[in-house]
C-alpha cells in the first residue's frame, strides 16, 4: 500500500506543464490589436490559461476560417522591462515571445526574431475583448478552439 501511495505522489509531481495553468501577468481571454474594434475583429491572440497563439479568419475580408495556431506554454519567466517571456515545447531559442501588462485589459506583445546578426523586435499594443463584445463569428471560433473562454 505504501509503495502505491508513493507511486501516486510521484506521478502527481510529474504532471506536464501543459496540463497546469500557467502564470501570466495578463488575464485569460481574447486579445487583439489596440486599433481594432472588438465587435468587428477577425484576428487576435488567445491566452486560455495554458496556451497562447493566434486565432483568426483569413482571406478576403476574413471570409475563410477560422484558423488557430495555439501552442501550449511550458514555462514563463520574468525578463527585463516588466515583460514575461513565454516558452513553448521546452525550446528556448534565439527568438522570443513576451507580454507586458499596460493596465486593465491592455498589454504590450513583443516578438523577437533572429535576423542576420541581430534580433529584430516588433511590438504590438493589445486590448482584451470580452466574449460578449465579439461578433457571433468570432464567438464561434472561440467556442471551437478555446471553449473555456466562451463565457458570456
Annotation: CATH topology of 20-149: Lipocalin (2.40.128)
Cell output for 34 = 489596440
Tens of each residue's pLDDT in the chain, 152 residues? 333 333 333 333 334 444 567 889 999 999 999 999 999 999 999 999 999 999 999 999 889 999 999 999 999 999 989 999 999 987 667 789 999 999 999 999 999 998 888 889 999 999 999 999 999 999 999 999 999 999 85
Domain boundaries, the chain: 20-149
What is d(CA 101, CA 107) in angstroms, rounded to the nearest whole number? 4
Report the alpha-carbon distance of residue 105 to residue 131 in Å, rounded: 13
pTM strictly above 0.75? yes
- The CA-atom distances, in angstroms, between 146 and each of 51, 79, 96, 149 are 9, 28, 23, 6
Amino acid at each position: 500500500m505504501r509503495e502505491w501511495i508513493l507511486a501516486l505522489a510521484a506521478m502527481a509531481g510529474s504532471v506536464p506543464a501543459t496540463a497546469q495553468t500557467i502564470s501570466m501577468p495578463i488575464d485569460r481571454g481574447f486579445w487583439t490589436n489596440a486599433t481594432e474594434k472588438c465587435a468587428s475583429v477577425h484576428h487576435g491572440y488567445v491566452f486560455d490559461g495554458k496556451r497562447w497563439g493566434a486565432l483568426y479568419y483569413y482571406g478576403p475580408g476574413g471570409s475563410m476560417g477560422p484558423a488557430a495556431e495555439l501552442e501550449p506554454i511550458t514555462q514563463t519567466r520574468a525578463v527585463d522591462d516588466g515583460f514575461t517571456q513565454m516558452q513553448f515545447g521546452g525550446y528556448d531559442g534565439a527568438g522570443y515571445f513576451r507580454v507586458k501588462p499596460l493596465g486593465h485589459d491592455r498589454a504590450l506583445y513583443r516578438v523577437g526574431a533572429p535576423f542576420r546578426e541581430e534580433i529584430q523586435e516588433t511590438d504590438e499594443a493589445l486590448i482584451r475583448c470580452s466574449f460578449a463584445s465579439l461578433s457571433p463569428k468570432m464567438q464561434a471560433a472561440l467556442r471551437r478552439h478555446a471553449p473555456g473562454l466562451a463565457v458570456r
